[in-house]
Amino acid sequence: MTNTKVPFYKHDLGEAELKQIENVFSGAILTTGSTVQRFEERFASLLKSKSAVGLTSCTGALHLSLLALGISEGDEVITTPMTFIATSTAILEAGATPVFADVEPDTGNIDVKKIEQKITGKTKAIMPVHLYGQMCDMVAMKSLADTHGLKIIEDAAHCIEGSRDGYYPGQLADFACFSFYATKNLTCGEGGALVTNSSTLAEQVKLLRTHGMNKTASDREREGYTHWDMTVLGWKYNMDNIQAAMLLPQLDRLDKKSFLRHELSEYYREKLQKNSHINLPTTLDGVKHALHLFPIFVESELRDLTIEKLQQMEISTMVNYRPVHLNSYFRTKFGFKKGDFPIAEEFGERVLSLPFFPGMTKEQVDIVVNSLERVFK
Ligand SMILES: *Cc1c(COP(=O)(O)O)cnc(C)c1O
């Protein structure tokens, strides 16, 4: 949608990012090098994790997390159907089987009590998603995982700035994975990273992100050419210096932008409370919300009509998400059908995400709110 009155999202990349890109251009290495390393150090410290590894996507981060933990064919990974498909497809890419557990009705996050019911002898890991930026109950999940000897890989694509009960993504898990896709809170167009507190696992992921080769371009830059060896089957998921250059200056703006997100969210909530057709999401106690998206809930019969009418008024919305298991591929491959995960399904029928980004003005929020009033008249 171009020329919309209120866009769904607008990035704020500009001079600071261009300057960093220029620095990369004047250096020798465009691919993974010292700029990526600087980003990794700052990102790990932001998340209070020992290591971060820069990658080309969150999907790649999820995939490599599974591989580094030795999860493959015959293994099951418990995850949520209320997410973007990548959470499940990464499990399939690793050769393992995604097993869904239904979600909590108030947050849309995977329900820890329902995870327990899905554990079998084949279960190797849990892959929760911190939906919209509200963290799952990681304390309860970690305790369950420890009881059953399971690994945890967090899909934290929505949750760079969030925490719960004082824990950040990655602190109660083996890995937390992040996305720098075009509309995410931190973006370089396409990109991703993971954090981990295990330096052994971080090294393993670094090997896996560049074909399993034991020498990289920056090694050649430092030491000159020496023969390399391929020691494991790896993939091609390494972040390059240009992506890292775009990300570095944004780290300085994260706090400020998070503050703006909270201000806008409060303003939206205050105005939308008056609309009896709209339900607003809940933030639980102990949660610092990353507010990646601003979802609202309407009657399921009116949801698609609402999207259509807003579109006519030049207001862009999205649905995050229709549940994964009802996509044709998953229905065909696994025999999933409507009714399998009723809470996720109802959630997915009622939800829509409104325009929401730190540079959004209160006037733009007013336009969206007034348009919604007209929709329900
Ligand atoms: C965006 C997103 C992903 C995929 O991220 P990419 O960087 O595009 O691979 C995965 N999971 C969730 C929940 C997302 O929102």
Residue nearest atom 10 of ligand 1, based on CA coordinates: 86
User: Quick check: CB of 87 below 6 Å from ligand 1?
Assistant: yes
Taking CA atoms only, the protein residue closest to ligand 1 atom 5 is: 58
Minimal-distance CA residue to ligand 1 atom 8 = 181
| Rounded Cα–Cα distance for residues 339 and 60 (Å) | 31
- Take residue 212 and report the two structure tokens written for it: 């399993």
**Do the Cβ atoms of 29 and 241 come closer than 8 Å?**
yes
Distances (CA, A) of 232 to 31, 214, 229, 334: 21, 9, 9, 31
DSSP 3-state assignment of 296?
A: strand
List pLDDT tens digits, range 297-317: 999 999 999 999 999 999 999
| pLDDT of 2 over the 60 cut | no
Residues whose CB falls within 8 Å of the CB of residue 18, separated by 6 or more in sequence, listed in order: none
**Which of 53, 58, 110, 160 has most ligand 1 atoms within 8 Å of its beta carbon, as the pocket-test mutant?**
58
Residue 302 CA to ligand 1 center (angstroms) comes to 27
Tokens linked to 43? 């990102």
CA torsion sign for 53, 54, 55, 61 is: positive
Residue 184: active-site member? yes
pLDDT of residue 1: 45
Q: pTM of the entire structure? A: 0.97
Residues 192 and 179: beta-carbon distance below 8 Å: yes
The dihedral formed by the CA atoms of 359, 360, 362 and 364, expressed in degrees to the nearest 10: 150
Q: Is 80 in the pocket of ligand 1 (CB under 6 A)?
A: no
- Measured from the CB, is residue 123 less than 6 Å from ligand 1? no
Find the 293 Cα to ligand 1 centroid distance in Å: 13
Average pLDDT over residues 69-74: 98
Kindly report, residue by residue over 304-350, the tens digit of the pLDDT.
999 999 999 999 999 999 999 999 999 999 999 999 999 999 999 99
pLDDT of residue 377: 87
CA distances to 116, 140, 161 from 121, rounded to whole Å, are: 12, 21, 35
Say how many Å lie between the CA of residue 259 and the centre of ligand 1: 23
| 52 contacts: CB under 8 Å, gap ≥ 6 | 39, 40, 41, 43, 44, 193, 194, 195, 202
Instruction: State pLDDT tens for residues 18-52.
Output: 999 999 999 999 999 999 999 999 999 999 999 99
* Active-site residue (options: 142, 184, 206, 257): 184
Distance 86 CA to ligand 1 centre (A): 6
- 218 exposure class (CB count in 10 Å sphere: 0-12, 13-18, 19+): middle
Mean pLDDT calculated for residue range 264-275: 97
Distance (Å) from CA 106 to ligand 1 centroid: 22
